A and B are shown apart, each in its own frame.
Chain A
Amino acid sequence: MFNLNKAGMSKKRLQETGAVSALSAPSPAKPSAGAGSGRGLTARGLVVDYGSGPVLGPLDLDLPEHGIYTVLGPSGSGKSTLLRTAAGLVPGFGGHLAYGGRPLGGRDAAAAGVRVGFVPQNYGLLPWHTALANVRNALKIARPQEPRAQREQAALRWLALTGLAGLEGRYPRALSGGQQQRVAIARAFAVRPDLLLLDEPFSALDAVTREGLQSLLLESWRRQPSTMLFVTHDVEEAVLLGRQIIMLTGRGSMPSSEAASSSAGVRLIDNEAVFSQEDRNKRESEAFYEQVRQIRHLMREGW
């Protein structure tokens, strides 16, 4: 898929030394040294290690809030791990991860109260709850202080906005894959998250359904902007959705001595040229093709 041919591999090490290089200047997401307390998502020396060498990091990131960041990387680059860590699913990690200055993912994250919406690849719906109950219960956990009627209204509203009006009472088993993912998106938006994390959410869907859901996601995000991290292995999807594209270096191809000492290769690619286009023109635009071509080229050159 990634066309990492042998020639590309040999050049890889050169590329990695520059931890972040903005491809298209000027990038609004250009990290400045010591910007750890800024708004948005920041990572400082983030390392995840399950016991057999780091699977992610050390990683430094500064992502201003209200952006859509698509995360690209070969398998083993730790892109899902980055997402799961931010979602609080990897309790033991090294370094520092924060959103708007508030700690994220770690033990003090619960008290810090960063609201996280998470959409996993397998939809993550509870099969014993109806579509409505899935959204309702997520809201009850994320916003216990809100009146019940208000939560119910939010749940119904988002289900309607994701095109599920009339299907609220269905159990996940009675919904198609695309519909289930719509419920998952409705649930993620309904909690009004600060940070929205999506882990290859559309990879199990057919092409037509996927395009519909990509548009729905952008539409929902415009209605209620949050900082969105979207992991994908599909270059076109990354270009189509991202305002910025984060490219992570594969860990597996790195010599272990280097892996331990250097910061993992991260590349932040500005995608505003594509992002600013209207949805229905995007796929056919010159900018889109050009960006996809460039990224494919970069991938061949070595991450």
Chain B
Amino acid sequence: MKKNAAHSSRELGVQSAQKPMRSAVGSHSSTRTGFRGTVLRLLGVFAVLHVLWALLAAALQRDILPSPWVVYPALIHLDGAEMLTHVGASLIRVCAGIGLALAVGLLLGLLMGRSPRWNRLLDPVVYLTYPVPKIALLPVAMLFLGLGEASKIVMIALILVFQVIISVRDAVKAIPIDTYDVLTSLGAKRMAKFTQITLPGALSAILSTLRISLGTAFSVLFFTEIYGTEHGMGYFIMDAWLRLDYPGMYAGILLFSGVGFLLFVLVDLLEYRFMRWRAY
């Protein structure tokens, strides 16, 4: 048993050394059996979590934790069209927030990574503002931008942008300078070096950031959907909670998680498509 554990951890170590940025969940190897294995493991964990849930519900016997047998029927009986507007509203906010954060963060991160001068100028700004708990600025955002979409999207972007800047900057800095040598000697222009080296060199970090950002964005989204809206997954769950509709609330949580999972898989597919060169 002990030997087994040591063996598997060594295996994990080797894998993470070859694919440093791989997430634990999304690790698909290039072989088919590896992919099937990953899916089977995911299904296994999914099943175990449900068993634990069912056991806990059975042990507690309280309506604040309904069993899977109650929640799944509630999920199926949700109004499809209504849920679509909730999911749609949430997705638009998340995508807009992430999009905004990526646009600003990539620009600044690439700039700071490539140019020592810009880094000197902006680094203190990032350093000073990074530790500020941005969620505490929610009231400020509401005061300035109102209770509508703008404050929700800006809050998500505000929280994400710093980690995007920092990880992109560090990834760009981590590209060895001699990577540029051959293209420089051929007389490559700035733009060519950027598209051929800087961007692909930082892409792995960008995708990792995107993955982390997704999780964070959904958390922030939940907060922002508590006020000023009647659409969105956060609104739906809180509304069910207020109506004491616990099966509905849990169904909402499941649906919310499912949407998050799909986006996670989407990032994995992007990584699979663009990081193929690393698969060997």
Q: Identify the A interface with B (CB < 8 A).
A: 84, 87-89, 109-110, 113, 115-118, 120, 122, 124, 126-130, 137-138, 141-142, 171-174, 184, 187, 191, 197
**A142: chain B residues within 8 A (beta carbon):** 186-187
Whether B182 pairs with A124 at a CB distance below 8 angstroms is: yes
Minimal Cβ-Cβ distance residue in B for A111: B187
Q: Identify the B interface with A (CB < 8 A).
A: 178-179, 181-189, 192, 196-197, 200-201, 203, 276-278, 280
Min CB–CB distance B21 → chain A (angstroms): 13
Given contacts A124-B178, A128-B200, contact A138 B183 (CB under 8 A): yes
**A172: chain B residues within 8 A (beta carbon):** 277
**B184: chain A residues within 8 A (beta carbon):** 87-89
Measured in the bound complex, the distance between the Cα atoms of B203 and A65 in whole Å is: 42
**A110: chain B residues within 8 A (beta carbon):** 187
Cβ contacts A to B, 13 pairs, < 8 Å = A88-B185, A113-B187, A116-B187, A120-B178, A124-B182, A126-B196, A128-B200, A128-B203, A141-B183, A141-B192, A142-B187, A174-B280, A184-B182
**B200: chain A residues within 8 A (beta carbon):** 126, 128-129
Minimal Cβ-Cβ distance residue in B for A121: B178
**B201: chain A residues within 8 A (beta carbon):** 128
Whether A122 pairs with B185 at a CB distance below 8 angstroms is: no
Min CB–CB distance B201 → chain A (angstroms): 8
Whether A173 pairs with B182 at a CB distance below 8 angstroms is: no
Measured in the bound complex, the distance between the Cα atoms of B184 and A126 in whole Å is: 13
**B179: chain A residues within 8 A (beta carbon):** 124, 126
**A173: chain B residues within 8 A (beta carbon):** 277-278, 280
Minimal Cβ-Cβ distance residue in A for B189: A141
Minimal Cβ-Cβ distance residue in A for B183: A141
Whether B186 pairs with A128 at a CB distance below 8 angstroms is: no
Minimal Cβ-Cβ distance residue in B for A191: B186
Min CB–CB distance B183 → chain A (angstroms): 6
Whether A122 pairs with B178 at a CB distance below 8 angstroms is: yes
Whether A197 pairs with B185 at a CB distance below 8 angstroms is: yes
Measured in the bound complex, the distance between the Cα atoms of B275 and A173 in whole Å is: 12
Partner of B181, one of A109, A115, A120, A129: A120
**B278: chain A residues within 8 A (beta carbon):** 127, 173
Measured in the bound complex, the distance between the Cα atoms of B112 and A142 in whole Å is: 28
Whether A124 pairs with B181 at a CB distance below 8 angstroms is: yes
Whether B181 pairs with A118 at a CB distance below 8 angstroms is: yes
**A138: chain B residues within 8 A (beta carbon):** 182-183, 186
Min CB–CB distance A82 → chain B (angstroms): 14
Minimal Cβ-Cβ distance residue in B for A199: B181
Q: Which 5 A-B pairs have the closest CB atoms?
A: A118-B185, A87-B185, A173-B280, A124-B182, A171-B277
Given contacts A88-B187, A110-B187, A141-B187, contact A118 B277 (CB under 8 A): no
Whether B186 pairs with A141 at a CB distance below 8 angstroms is: yes
Measured in the bound complex, the distance between the Cα atoms of B178 and A87 in whole Å is: 12
Whether A171 pairs with B276 at a CB distance below 8 angstroms is: yes
Whether B181 pairs with A87 at a CB distance below 8 angstroms is: yes
**B192: chain A residues within 8 A (beta carbon):** 141
Min CB–CB distance A90 → chain B (angstroms): 11
Min CB–CB distance B15 → chain A (angstroms): 15
Measured in the bound complex, the distance between the Cα atoms of B189 and A110 in whole Å is: 10
Whether B181 pairs with A171 at a CB distance below 8 angstroms is: no
Interface centre among B178, B197, B201, B203 (most CB of A within 10 A): B178
Whether A137 pairs with B196 at a CB distance below 8 angstroms is: yes
Partner of A118, one of B182, B197, B276: B182
**B181: chain A residues within 8 A (beta carbon):** 84, 87, 89, 118, 120, 124
Min CB–CB distance B29 → chain A (angstroms): 14
**B183: chain A residues within 8 A (beta carbon):** 138, 141
Minimal Cβ-Cβ distance residue in B for A188: B182
**A137: chain B residues within 8 A (beta carbon):** 196
Interface centre among B182, B185, B203, B278 (most CB of A within 10 A): B185
Known: A88-B187, A120-B178, A138-B183. 4 other contacts (CB 8 A): A120-B181, A124-B182, A137-B196, A173-B280
Given contacts A124-B178, A128-B200, contact A116 B280 (CB under 8 A): no
Measured in the bound complex, the distance between the Cα atoms of B145 and A49 in whole Å is: 56
Whether B277 pairs with A127 at a CB distance below 8 angstroms is: yes
Measured in the bound complex, the distance between the Cα atoms of B185 and A141 in whole Å is: 10
Min CB–CB distance A204 → chain B (angstroms): 14
Min CB–CB distance B14 → chain A (angstroms): 15
Min CB–CB distance B271 → chain A (angstroms): 13
Minimal Cβ-Cβ distance residue in A for B196: A137
**A115: chain B residues within 8 A (beta carbon):** 186
